[in-house]
């Protein structure tokens, strides 16, 4: 931070230090460097980390008191560190949302607590403390923070010369170091000469060891280099010599073994590579059919970064695990757990020296203590995506699955929790399923409850229920796979999950509801969820204080509410009111997305829409149309689209100012959002006053432009939305003609292969053709042959709108004759055999228009139209009656005229 940092980073305001940081790659890089430096400061410089700042760093934090551990005094709104300065002032003090930090040690611990929010905290700290207290370094700080860089003393060639001049002890030490280094370099030059070629087998590792002699030599060399960096010999002074030394060592190694080496050692390459390996993980197969989705890339240390002492200490412990007896193994496992295994450095230290193989091998022993220690370590380090893959590659999952049959409940718990961490990608889930893991995990859910309403608080203290919780965690991870969902259902998991859902303990409820939420995407599960009366408990837990539980319950309702009966159950059990209440809590975006999704699906039922209007949810939804992530917007707009099918709600949306933000969303690129927005705008366009606003905001042109969208769903939704717009616009004919190339675009969409697109375009043409000038234009663009080509379809939705379009197009010129020439009449007669009354009405009207042409009447008569139309004359639908009677009348008049002409 300070002046140099304020000038280096990029600010939003006109001058540095007066605004907020820009979101740029440079700033992100600087923030990561700062975070990495501060996080490791307490490890590399433990003494300096205790120094107290003259003035504290202060900023607004997003951390809550609940995330702080036992080293702090925590209350609902305040946190104080137990570590204090000489004036008894805490070195860290949080009064929500302001936080003060007085030492690097506390700053480092704060970053560890922040976890995935580290960059946000670093950004807030920099923005809040642009000019922290400065240290006087042979100069003075001026009032505005500018440092006076005017030289005050002698000029030295480099820092070494400066220290030699100031310290005789340092000068003597440097002389000794230089002499020693010269001897080492001379010795290395002697050792680096080509040696006699040894057999290729020398590259193999010694049995029982994961490090070759060559690798051990290189590790020792790297350690010596690290030691030198801690001594006053200052490596930068001899960087050229060091590079030459490494080059000579590499050359001698290549000549010795006859081929170049691929990497320097087995212990360090994974941490020292500059290129970041891309991690592929499947987070949710429910929403994606891809083999494996990407997970967040892991943060690796730069090639020139110093490895902390923990890295080497852990590797020594792994050696004890390999060669020690049972007692030494247990002690090594316990010692390893004393390290912070949540740090990537510690995790990769275990892996890089072959520790994973040892830990997995320990799971095959008969010693329960060794198994427990190994599983506890594997459970912690398996949060790392790379470690998860390594565990699967080494065959660890089948062993863990077999442990699920163990009589020791502690082993069952640890094995299930580790499986829950590892089964985050598709291949791991497949391994669990193929080795019978699903059936064993489902069996863990059975807590042995004998009554429907057990005394859950006391029951939860037992180990059986802890085993069930761990089993639910593992099933939650596995349930992201379609095959695993089916396996859970066949294993009888739904009744057991339903029983566990009655508990009041949130630690149990979250994985249980999470599993149900994942599985509810399957139709078989939704039917089973209704049968087990799970909806009632989901609604009940919406009133919980736990945000994560609320989110998963709302998401489960969202998945299940595709079914009308489920939507009714949600309303009957009082679930609509808590959903409307949660809609006002916008701080947690994941929960908000789940809640708005549940409201969207529940709004498909009119009775639920009435309830939402009573709870004033529609006004809240309109307020969420701006400044929200796309996941929330998709659901909000979808819910408004369903609500706007009723006149009262359309008026409410208009009065709340919802038309403009809806129209603004028409320029987006998200496919799902565009589909829902066009539906909502189309629903609002039914009201003439709303249509005026849409037209004034250029909404019709935006809808028309979406007909060019590459996604068929967007095209179809836009075409459907244009229908009410054309119906309710003033001077609709002129408005449609004002769109250059618009009519040709609509006609060309009749060449689509998508049935929904064809039906929606036919509906749009029906409205466009009401204006005679527009009808003439689309006729010139070839609408008749394209409509005729679609006549041979079995889709009733397309049949209805196609027949309506043909009926409208018959009113221009010789279109009636043209339809007959393009063989459209005979297929239309077959439409009369459909079971859909709407198809009957549209077809009868089209046949009535076509029957004005004599040749068409003959075709209808030959295809049996008269008999079918006679049955429809008695229909209660007056429009159908009229059209059928009119068509029969035209056919009959032609027959009489023909008969009369024959006798004359």
pLDDT of residue 264: 32
Bridge partner list, 90: 84
Q: Comparing 168-182, 819-833, 875-889, which segment has the lowest mean pLDDT? A: 168-182
CA atoms within 13 A on the CB side of 709: 26
Instruction: Find, among 648, 616, 653, the residue nearest to 637 by Cα.
Output: 653
Average pLDDT, integer, range 869-891: 88
Is 712 strand, coil or helix? Answer: helix
Q: What is the band of 439 on the pLDDT scale with cuts at 50, 70, 90?
A: very high
pLDDT in tens, 343-357: 888 888 888 888 889
Number of Cβ within a 10 Å radius of residue 223: 13
103 φ, ψ (degrees, to nearest 5): -155, 160
Burial string for 648-674 (b: 16+ CB within 10 Å, else e) reads ebbebbbeeebbebbbebbeeeebbbb
Q: Which of 216-230, 606-620, 659-673, 707-721 has the lowest mean pLDDT?
A: 216-230
Which domains are assigned to the chain? 1-129 (no CATH), 309-442 (1.25.10.10), 789-901 (1.25.10.10)
The answer, yes or no, to whether residue 306 has pLDDT greater than 70, is no
Residue 506 is encoded by which pair of tokens? 């949130």
Q: Cα separation of 90 and 13, whole Å?
A: 34
User: Does the pLDDT value for residue 594 go beyond 90?
Assistant: yes
Give the Cα separation of 620 and 581 in Å (integer): 10
Contact assessment for residue 281 and residue 385, using Cβ atoms and an 8 Å cutoff: yes
Is the bond preceding residue 97 a cis peptide, omega within 30 degrees? yes
Select from 388, 374, 494, 376 the least CA-distant residue to 446.
494
Q: Alpha-carbon distance 716 to 723, whole Å? A: 11
Indicate the pLDDT class of residue 196, thresholds 50, 70 and 90. Answer: very low
The rounded distance, in Å, linking the Cα atoms of 534 and 880 is 46
Token pair recorded at residue 405: 């049959």
Whole-Å CA distances, 411 to 17, 131, 525, 769: 55, 54, 31, 74
Q: What would the pLDDT profile of 505-528 be if each residue is shown by its tens digit?
A: 788 899 999 999 888 888 888 888
CB burial readout 344-368, b (16+ within 10 A) else e: bbbbbbbbbbbbbbbbbbbbeeeee
Would strands 72-74 and 92-95 be described as parallel, antiparallel, or unpaired? Answer: unpaired
**Element holding 331 (H helix, E strand):** helix 326-337
Report the alpha-carbon distance of residue 721 to residue 663 in Å, rounded.
12
* Cα 527 from Cα 513, distance rounded (Å): 16
Q: Is the pLDDT of residue 36 over 70?
A: yes
Is the entire prediction scored with pTM above 0.85?
no
- Name the pLDDT band for 456 (thresholds 50, 70, 90): very low
Find, among 591, 608, 520, 529, the residue nearest to 558 by Cα: 520
Is the predicted pLDDT of residue 131 greater than 60, yes or no?
Answer: no
Contact 856, 820 (CB under 8 A): yes
763 contacts 769 by C-beta, under 8 angstroms: no
Say which residue the tokens 């009656």 belong to: 881
φ, ψ at 95 (rounded to 5°): -120, 100
Collapse the DSSP code of 703 into the 3-class scheme (helix H, G, I; strand E, B; otherwise coil) and give the result.
helix
333 falls in which pLDDT band (50, 70, 90)? confident
Helix and strand numbers, DSSP H then E, in the chain = 51, 5
Burial profile 492-511: b = 16 or more Cβ within 10 angstroms, e = fewer: ebbebbbbbbbbeeeebbbb
**Nearest C-alpha neighbor of 368 from the set 320, 337, 418, 333:** 333
Could you give the CA distance from residue 467 to residue 412 in angstroms, rounded to a whole number?
Answer: 7
The Cα diameter of the chain in Å comes to 139
**Distances from the Cα of 275 to the Cα of 28, 114, 271, angstroms:** 17, 26, 10
Listed ranges 166-180, 219-233, 641-655; the one with the highest mean pLDDT = 641-655
CA distance 563 to 569: 10
pLDDT value for 130? 53
Under the banding of pLDDT at 50, 70 and 90, the label for residue 298 is very low
pLDDT in tens, 54-106: 888 888 888 888 888 777 888 888 888 888 888 888 888 888 888 889 888 88
Left (φ > 0), alpha (ψ -120 to 50) or beta: where does 71 sit? alpha
Whether residue 573 is predicted with pLDDT greater than 70 in this model: the reply is: yes
Q: Residue 710 pLDDT > 80, yes or no?
A: yes
Report how far apart, in Å, the C-alpha atoms of 369 and of each of 21, 365, 408, 410 are. Answer: 52, 10, 11, 10
| 554 Cβ contact partners less than 8 Å away, ≥ 6 residues apart | 542, 579, 582, 591, 594, 595, 597, 598
Average pLDDT, the chain: 79
Half-sphere exposure of 102 (CA within 13 A, CB side): 18
- DSSP assignments along 598-645, one per residue: HHHHHTTSHHHHHHHHHTTHHHHHHHTTSS--HHHHHHHHHHHHHHTT
Task: Tabulate helix, strand, coil % of the chain (nearest 5).
Answer: 65, 5, 30
Q: DSSP H helical segments within 115-231, as ranges?
A: 118-128, 159-166, 168-191, 213-230
Q: What pLDDT is recorded for position 152? A: 59
User: What Cα–Cα distance (Å) separates residue 569 from each residue in 561, 565, 642?
Assistant: 9, 6, 19
Cβ pair 170, 231 in contact under 8 A? no
Q: How far apart are CA 275 and CA 680, in angstroms?
A: 47
pLDDT at 277 over 60: no
Kindly provide the residue ranges of all beta strands, DSSP E only, lying in 280-362, ordered along the sequence. none
Residues whose CB falls within 8 Å of the CB of residue 596, separated by 6 or more in sequence, listed in order: 583, 621, 624, 632, 635, 636, 639
Cα 754 vs. chain centroid, distance in angstroms?
A: 30
Q: Nearest Cα to 396, choosing from 363, 352, 445, 427?
A: 363
Q: What is the mean pLDDT of residues 418-445?
A: 92
β-pair partners for 280:
294
Query: Which band of pLDDT confidence, cut at 50, 70 and 90, is reported for residue 199?
Result: very low
Q: Enumerate residues 6+ apart whose C-beta is below 8 A from 843.
A: 799, 803, 828, 831, 832, 834
Task: Please count the other Cβ atoms lying within 10 Å of the Cβ belonging to residue 629.
Answer: 11
* Among the listed residues 353, 365, 374, the one whose alpha carbon sits nearest the alpha carbon of residue 310: 353
Average pLDDT over residues 32-54: 82
Beta bridge partners of 616: none
- Between residues 147 and 108, the one the model is more confident about: 108
* CB atoms near residue 234 (< 10 Å): 16
Each residue's pLDDT tens digit, 211-269: 344 344 444 444 444 443 333 333 333 333 433 444 443 444 443 344 333 333 333 33
pLDDT attached to residue 418: 94
User: By mean pLDDT, which of 59-73, 759-773, 875-889 is the weakest?
Assistant: 59-73
How many Å apart are CA 619 and CA 617, to the nearest integer? 6
- The per-residue pLDDT for 295 is 45
Q: What percent of the chain has pLDDT over 90?
A: 36
Query: Which percentage of the chain shows pLDDT scores above 70?
Result: 79
Could you count the other beta carbons within 10 Å of the beta carbon of residue 588? Answer: 15
Query: Which residue did the predictor score with more confidence, 456 or 624?
Result: 624
State the pLDDT at residue 9.
63
Asked which of 235-249, 377-391, 606-620, 813-827 is least confident by mean pLDDT, the reply is: 235-249
pLDDT for residue 795:
92
């Amino acid at each position: 931070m300070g002046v140099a940092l304020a000038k280096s980073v990029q600010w939003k305001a006109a001058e540095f230090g007066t605004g907020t940081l820009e979101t740029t790659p440079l700033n992100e890089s600087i923030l990561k460097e700062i975070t990495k430096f501060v996080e490791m400061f307490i490890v590399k410089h433990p003494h300096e980390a205790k120094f107290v700042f003259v003035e504290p760093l202060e900023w607004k934090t997003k951390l809550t008191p609940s995330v702080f551990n036992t080293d702090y005094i925590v209350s609902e709104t305040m946190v104080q560190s137990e570590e204090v300065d000489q004036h008894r002032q805490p070195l860290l003090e949080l009064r929500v949302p302001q936080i003060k930090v007085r030492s690097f040690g506390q700053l480092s611990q704060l970053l560890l607590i922040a976890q995935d929010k580290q960059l946000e905290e670093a950004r807030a700290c920099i923005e809040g403390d642009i000019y922290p207290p400065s240290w006087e370094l042979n100069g003075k700080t001026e009032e505005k923070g500018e440092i006076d860089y005017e030289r005050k003393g002698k000029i030295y060639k480099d820092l070494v010369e400066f220290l030699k001049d100031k310290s005789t002890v340092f000068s003597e030490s440097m002389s000794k170091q230089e002499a020693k280094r010269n001897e080492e370099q001379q010795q290395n030059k002697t050792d680096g000469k080509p040696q006699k070629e040894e057999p290729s087998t020398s590259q193999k590792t010694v049995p029982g060891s994961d490090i070759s002699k060559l690798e051990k030599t290189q590790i020792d060399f790297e350690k010596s280099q690290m030691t030198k960096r801690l001594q006053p010999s200052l490596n930068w002074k001899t960087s050229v010599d060091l590079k030459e030394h490494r080059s000579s060592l590499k050359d001698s190694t290549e000549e010795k073994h006859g081929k170049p080496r691929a990497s320097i050692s087995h212990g360090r390459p994974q941490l020292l590579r500059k290129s970041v390996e891309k991690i592929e993980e499947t987070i949710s197969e429910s929403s994606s059919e891809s083999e494996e989705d990407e997970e967040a890339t892991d943060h690796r240390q730069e090639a020139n970064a110093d490895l902390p002492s923990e890295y080497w200490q852990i590797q020594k412990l792994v050696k004890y695990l390999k060669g020690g007896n049972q007692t030494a193994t247990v002690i090594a496992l316990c010692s390893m757990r004393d390290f912070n295994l949540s740090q990537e450095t510690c995790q990769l230290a275990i892996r890089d020296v072959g520790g994973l193989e040892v830990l997995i091998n320990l799971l095959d022993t008969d010693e329960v203590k060794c198994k427990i220690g190994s599983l506890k370590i594997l459970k912690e380090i398996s949060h790392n995506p790379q470690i998860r893959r390594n565990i699967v590659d080494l065959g660890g999952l089948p062993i863990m699955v077999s442990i699920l049959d163990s009589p020791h409940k502690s082993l069952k718990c640890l094995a299930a929790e580790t499986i829950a961490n590892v089964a985050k990608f598709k291949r791991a889930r497949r391994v669990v399923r193929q080795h019978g893991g699903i059936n064993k995990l489902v069996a863990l859910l059975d807590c042995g409850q004998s009554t429907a309403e057990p005394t859950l608080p006391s029951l939860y203290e037992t180990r059986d229920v802890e085993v069930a919780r761990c089993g639910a965690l593992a099933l939650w991870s596995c349930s992201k796979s379609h095959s695993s969902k089916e396996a859970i259902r066949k294993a009888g998991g739904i009744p057991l999950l339903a029983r566990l859902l009655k508990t009041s303990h949130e630690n149990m409820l979250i994985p249980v509801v999470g599993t149900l939420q994942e599985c509810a995407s399957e139709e078989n599960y939704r039917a089973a969820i209704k049968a087990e009366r799970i909806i009632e408990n989901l609604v009940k837990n919406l009133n919980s204080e736990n945000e994560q539980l609320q989110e998963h319950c709302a998401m489960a309702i969202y998945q299940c509410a595709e079914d009308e009966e489920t939507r009714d159950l949600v309303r009957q059990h009082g679930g609509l009111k808590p959903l409307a209440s949660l809609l006002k809590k916008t701080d947690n975006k994941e929960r908000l997305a789940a809640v708005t999704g549940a409201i969207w699906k529940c709004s498909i039922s009119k009775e639920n829409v009435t309830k939402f209007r009573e709870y004033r949810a529609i006004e809240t939804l309109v307020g969420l149309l701006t400044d929200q992530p796309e996941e929330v917007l998709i659901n909000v707009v979808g819910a408004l689209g369903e609500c706007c099918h009723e006149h009262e709600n359309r008026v409410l949306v208009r009065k709340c100012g919802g038309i403009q933000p809806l129209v603004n969303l028409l320029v987006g690129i998200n496919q799902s959002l565009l589909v829902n927005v066009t539906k909502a705008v189309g629903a609002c366009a039914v009201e003439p006053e709303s249509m005026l606003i849409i037209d004034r905001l250029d909404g019709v042109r935006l809808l028309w432009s979406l007909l060019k969208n590459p996604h068929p769903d967007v095209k179809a939704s836009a075409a459907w939305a244009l229908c009410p717009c054309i119906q309710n616009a003033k001077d609709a004919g002129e408005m449609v003609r004002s769109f250059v190339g618009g009519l040709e675009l609509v006609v060309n969409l009749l060449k689509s292969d998508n049935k929904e697109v064809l039906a929606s375009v036919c509906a749009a043409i029906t409205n466009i053709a009401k204006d005679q000038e527009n009808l003439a234009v689309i006729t010139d663009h070839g609408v008749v042959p394209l409509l005729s080509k679609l006549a041979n379809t079995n889709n009733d939705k397309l049949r209805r709108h196609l027949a309506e379009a043909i009926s409208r197009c018959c009113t221009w010129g010789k279109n009636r004759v043209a339809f007959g020439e393009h063989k459209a009449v005979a297929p239309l007669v077959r439409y009369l055999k459909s079971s859909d009354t709407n198809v009957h009405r549209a077809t009868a009207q089209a046949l009535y228009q076509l029957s004005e042409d004599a040749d068409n009447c003959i075709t209808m008569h030959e295809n049996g139209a008269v008999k079918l139309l006679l049955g429809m004359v008695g229909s209660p639908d007056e429009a159908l009656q009229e059209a059928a009677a009119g068509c029969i009348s035209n056919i009959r008049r032609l027959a009489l005229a023909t008969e009369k002409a024959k006798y004359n």
